[in-house]
Amino acid sequence: MTGLERFAGHGVLVTGAARGIGAAVARRLAEEGARVLVTDQDAPEADRTAAALRQQGLTVEALACDVADRASVEAAVAHAVTAFGSLDVLVNCAAHCTPDVPLFEDDPDEAWARDLDITLTGTYRCCRAALPHLAARGRGAIVSIGSVNGLQDYGNHAYSAAKAGLGSLTRTLAGHAAARGVRVNLVAPGTVRTSAWEGRDGEVEAVRALYPLGRVGEPQDIAAAVAFLASRDAAWITGTTLVVDGGLTAVHTGFHAALRQA
């Protein structure tokens, strides 16, 4: 528990919240007093995540939501408003990443379309459905999960393009929504220890050496950044990308290592 109550009385919807960063965000905001709707395409896992949080006395519900489907998104937003009486915060965590094939020219259209439709267009669908409700409260906040992949080259062409697109959407939507009392921001994580890295301990260890702070991220690191940007502590922040990456993009550790070895 954080001891903070920054979200008391707030209704919150989190996409992609069955596990990983999304689940950590749901937990953090609920611990700070929010009423949270955990949504995910994986309905059974979303139910399990919500049930575990309720056992801790937190106000959490679960609902299946496919961000690739407009009707599903609109139903999730409507459910949150009905269940909680308002929607004050939207956190967009849902994403899809298709591994690159060896040659760029062999990438299938379907893989490109899938990554963009869930990661970028899915966020657009959620923002579109939620914005009128967020504006009605006069204290609305949208926080989306981007990636350092949207800032530099770490592979994954489609996923990286989608994450870069989220940075642009954050800025343009922030400009549109500011007059309506809604702030829009983005968190760009580096490597975070989630289920995507299970069974890949060797890769995680190799990557860890690139981080100036000496470790990869944990879901709780990202949840803390989301909680800040969604709260009134960030009342004068909108349209920004907060990079949470242990110094990866600021410090070229490989360059420094090469100099030391020379």
Q: Rounded to 5 degrees, what angle do the CA atoms 60, 7, 129 make? A: 70
Q: 79: buried, middle or exposed (CB in 10 Å: 19+, 13-18, 0-12)? A: middle
* Element spanning 202, H or E: helix 201-208
Catalytic-residue membership of 154: no
- Going along 93-192, which residue ranges are E strands? 141-145, 183-189
End-to-end CA distance of the chain, in Å?
Answer: 48
8 Å CB contact between 245 and 222: no
Q: Of 235, 231, 183, 234, whose CA–CA distance to 5 is shortest?
A: 231
Q: Name the nearest CA neighbour of 253 among 213, 211, 205.
A: 211
SS3 content of the chain, % helix, strand, coil (to 5): 50, 15, 35
Tell me which of 124, 154, 159, 211 is the catalytic residue: 159
Sign of CA dihedral 132, 239, 190, 244: negative
Q: For the stretch 196-209, what's the b/e string if a residue is b when 16 or more beta carbons lie within 10 angstroms of its beta carbon?
A: eeeeeeeeeeebee
Say how far residue 166 (Cα) sits from the centre of its chain: 11
Active site residue ranges: 159
